[in-house]
Amino acid sequence: MIEYWIVVTIGVIVVISALCITYLYAENRELRLVRSRYRLKVYEELLHAVTDLNVAGADVYKLDMAKRRLAQTLNRLNLVASGDVLKGVNDLLDFLNETPSGNYDVLRQTNILNAIVRAARNDLDPDSAKDLEDTAFRFRFYAPPKG
């Protein structure tokens, strides 16, 4: 009779342990999904801010608004981005700060943005990023001629 209770007790403990582990795993998975969604949102916002800078042209108001949007995005990006994305963003900021008016190098900006997008894709979905990287795919971005 005592052996029966020992088996039942061990069985109950195993079932409760399994339920706790399953719950903790599901919570951890959900937390990773929420973080990934937020990072995607911030990465998208970064690309939108860069596009706003590119299309602002000589319009001082639009350029000022684009710079503000970029600054706000960078604040959020600093909190959630991977190290590789942050390195790419630092390169982009150096490029934007060092580029004098009229000497705009579209190829250099495109290369920097490609590095950022590859790093972001690797951060969000490493498997598909690896497949795309193996093909040496180059992303394209709209950058009208600066005048």
How far, in Å, CA of 73 to CA of 137, rounded? 26
Give the span between the Cα atoms of 82 and 79, in whole angstroms. 9
Question: Residue 147: what pLDDT?
Answer: 52
| 145 — pLDDT class (breaks 50, 70, 90) | low
pTM passes above 0.85: no
SS3 18: helix
Q: What is the tens place of the pLDDT at every residue in 79-88?
A: 999 999 999 9
Q: How many CA atoms lie within 13 A of 42 on its CB side?
A: 25
